[in-house]
A and B are shown apart, each in its own frame.
Chain A
Amino acid sequence: MAGLVPFLAGRMVKAVVILFAIVVLNFLLVHAAPGDPAMVMAGEAGAADAKFVEQLREQFGLNKPLHEQLMTYVGTVAQGDLGFSYRQQRPVWDLIADRLPATLMLTLSAFVVALVGGILLGTLAAINSGKWSDSAITVVALLAYATPIYWVGLMLILLFSVSLGWLPAFGFETVGAGLTGLDRLGDILAHLVLPVFTLGLFYMAVYARMTRASILEVRDMDFVKTARAKGLRESRIVFGHILRNAILPVITVAGVQGGHLIGGSILVETVFAWPGIGRLAFDAVLQRDYQVLLGIFFVSSVMVIVFNILTDLVYTLVDPRIEVAK
């Protein structure tokens, strides 16, 4: 694939531009917020400590003209310094790095579950369009699409933890159980089930609806008529001709939307006390710890950009038309 290198290079340039824009946005937010920028950066707890505020003023050159401040800020972020949380007495980046694996585990699993489940259900509905299974899937998707995910989480806890006692409700693993090896893995997976399903459900509904609509649209296209005129079996027409053409656009949209899962993870992690950056964000909101919040905003944007590049890459490999579209 000779086109891959320029493609990646192009995407990298674009990513850097977007990241720069996000850093500028962060900077503007700090300055647009009501009150002294130094106070905003320090957060509610830090504001009491005059020495810390003074140090911030010094570090970010808050007495200098605005454009110089911007340069200082961009420079700081470029060095990987996302600030310092006075409340937690730790650099923001360290706080986020600690929590990142848990969030990645949650969001990626949820994405895979949502995409696979959504495409399967959507296909099932489209193939049986007009029959009861189609109606059932459509109704469930409509419901899932309209339900606040935090509420789904709470209701699932009520059902599977409180009433049935099948699955653990809170946390990443059983604290103090001292499990190791496979036992620990099993324990973590058990803790993962409810959050992943909760987060995935909404997007599963979205992808199922998209897949169904896309298949119904492709089904009427000319090349499907050609396939039928060849005397192919219905199953071969569906799997050999319709599905691939119908699912490709779903994957593109899913890739773009994948980033929204991170937003959803704030809610899910809050409900399930999952120790990821979503939960960190919730705590930061409660404590008005803006440095942490802005750091999370930045890091999650980076995650979205990386994710988008990955899905574009997959798309490039799957769709033969892309390679020459240069």
Chain B
Amino acid sequence: MTGTVTPFPAPRRASAPQTEGSAMSPSSVATAVEPLLDVRGLTISLPDGADRPYAVENLTFTLNPNEILCVVGESGSGKSMTAHATMGLLPKPHVKVTGGELLFRGHNVFTMSETEQRALRGGRIAMVFQEPMTALNPLKKVGDQIEESLRVHTSLDKAARAARVVELLTQVGLPNPADLSKSYPFRLSGGQRQRVMIAMALACEPDVLIADEPTTALDVTTQKQILELIRSIQAERHMGVMFITHDFGVVAEIADRVAVMQHGKLVEIGPARQVLNAPTHPYTRHLIASVPHYIEHRADFTKSGDALLEARNVNKVFNVGGGFLRKGRQVVAGDDICLTIHPGETVGLVGESGSGKSTLGRSIVGLMTPNSGQILFKGQNLLGLKRREFRPFRRDIQMVFQDPYASLNPRHKVGDIISQGPVAFGEDKGKALTRARELLQLVGLDGSAADRYPHQFSGGQRQRISIARALAMDPTLLVADEPVSALDVSVQTQVLKLLDDIRHRLNLSMLFITHDLRVAAQVCDTIAVMRRGKIVEIGPSRSVFGDPQHEYTRTLLDAIPGKAWEIPAELLAERAGHSAGGHPS
């Protein structure tokens, strides 16, 4: 997905004429630039019994006017804690700031009175959160929720406040702002709610905007719009934006400067161009090398023989919200879907949330029944089969699930979890357990893992166990439903590598379901793009990425964050070395 789609030579932001600490806000041209936020030696302690004593340790950085500073890190890096500490939102009394200072325009926020802090919050420093679906009060009209901010921080009268609310909603690009301000949040989509949150944050023209993973919960096309909105608003108002993210693609898209955090410590900070293209710290290099990207050199898959699986005209409609004497809304999850998977082929099923991609996957493994159509496995229509007749096919078609924390029974030992399937098919318990140990080694874990419980493993390790469980059935087709989307990028790479490795070694066919085109590019021979229950485009990876035919595919590709940024070649070389070991921490 590099230069093939849009020929931008370098990241937009990274090439902006700014260097660290010297940004000038036009509103304060005469004076020397004073940072908006000056964080010095910030330390946040975690309660006793946590896995480490400090969430954030001795953190020092500045945020200047008129810049976007991206704070990047994997889960548990302390990036969110930093944002919350700035806003005085740490979960009291367990987590608290125990050291350092945080200066806003030269005044230490931590020593201010509660009243002074409140005046800053929402007034001078505003925040946008990750989850737009839960960040708004469900029982208050959105207009009133924005107005509340104005009431606290400004002296505007009622009419002026109402006018301002409409103005704000217009600025964040919402349709019919006057009507919309009288709606309740449940009527709005996720993207719209995030716009409302941004409008709320902008209400009092803050100097600093803190955005905590504001696009992580959104679809990629919505993410693009929100990123553009934040960028344009920042440029217009010369705000300082502290943007927290785990995604280097997003960083490449909007950052002026980048701070990289690991285990609560700052490991690298610098201008975006420098950090993205010539990272110095090994952790940064590792993270950037793990960013999924399109692999050019993958050879096209040559289909041979009959299709292993063929979906013919599959239709599925869900009734949502219906009940006794009540008709619900209808959601189309499958609209005349046709798809083939050949032996040894990996087909990527890509689409945004609600596109119906999981429905198809679940129909194939028999967890769901479509309304009509056929799913042929080695020529046999699975949909017509009764429960008992379907059972022999269960061995052939296995599934790897999304959530590594929900997909293993917490009360069973790993060895049992893996061997339960074969035992259900009559295999001797002892034999199945021995095989489970072998499989654990195959997926890069120690055989002794069989005697432990799932909670003793990390997310990536659990996903390996999940894969071993599927392999225990000796399947010919593997359905992987978003197998890496709950994992941190560095772990993601390892699991993807494992899947790719195994499917070649065991000559497996795979249906790989994902919302992330970049991830699909890593492992798929063929890509099918889904939208509202329809497959709009299907073809070899190379042509779908290089020469997309459908408008929607182009929109999706265009929405990939950081598409214009080339991961430095030397890091990619390093990556090959990294994941060869493949053993997670």
Contact = CB atoms under 8 A, between A and B. Distances in A.
Whether the complex brings A and B within 8 Å at their CB atoms is answered yes
A251 to B, nearest CB: 13
B321 interface: yes
Contacts of B120: 231
A320 B91 CA distance: 30
A231 B121 contact: yes
A147 to B, nearest CB: 34
B197 A230 contact: no
Given A221-B134, A223-B134, A231-B149, A248 B119 contact: no
Contacts of B405: none
A229 B184 contact: no
Contacts of B576: none
Given A222-B131, A325-B321, A229 B137 contact: no
A240 B145 CA distance: 10
A10 interface: yes
Nearest to A222: B134
Nearest to B133: A222
Nearest to B117: A231
A325 to B, nearest CB: 7
Interface in B111-133: 118-123, 126-127, 129, 131
Contacts, number: 78
B184 A226 contact: no
B118 A226 contact: no
B243 to A, nearest CB: 16
Contacts of B122: 229-232
Nearest to B123: A231
Interface in A218-269: 220-223, 225-233, 236, 240-241, 244-245, 248
A228 B129 contact: no
Given A228-B89, A230-B148, A230-B200, A223 B137 contact: yes
A321 interface: yes
B411 interface: no
Contacts of A223: 134-138
Interface in B159-191: 184, 186-187
B147 to A, nearest CB: 11
Contacts of B149: 230-231
B139 interface: yes
A326 interface: yes
Contacts of B200: 226, 230
A294 B129 CA distance: 58
B558 to A, nearest CB: 31
A225 B139 contact: no
B135 A240 contact: no
Interface string A139-183: 000000000000000000000000000000000000000000000
A223 B145 CA distance: 10
A294 to B, nearest CB: 29
B87 interface: yes
B326 interface: yes
Nearest to B150: A230
A226 B197 contact: yes
Contacts of B126: 229
B135 A225 contact: yes
Nearest to A244: B139
B138 A231 contact: no
Interface of A: 10, 13, 220-223, 225-233, 236, 240-241, 244-245, 248, 319-321, 324-326
18 contacts: A220-B91, A221-B134, A222-B131, A222-B134, A223-B134, A223-B136, A226-B197, A227-B137, A227-B148, A229-B89, A229-B127, A230-B122, A232-B152, A236-B152, A245-B137, A320-B186, A321-B186, A326-B326
Given A13-B325, A222-B135, 5 more contacts: A225-B89, A228-B87, A231-B149, A232-B152, A245-B138
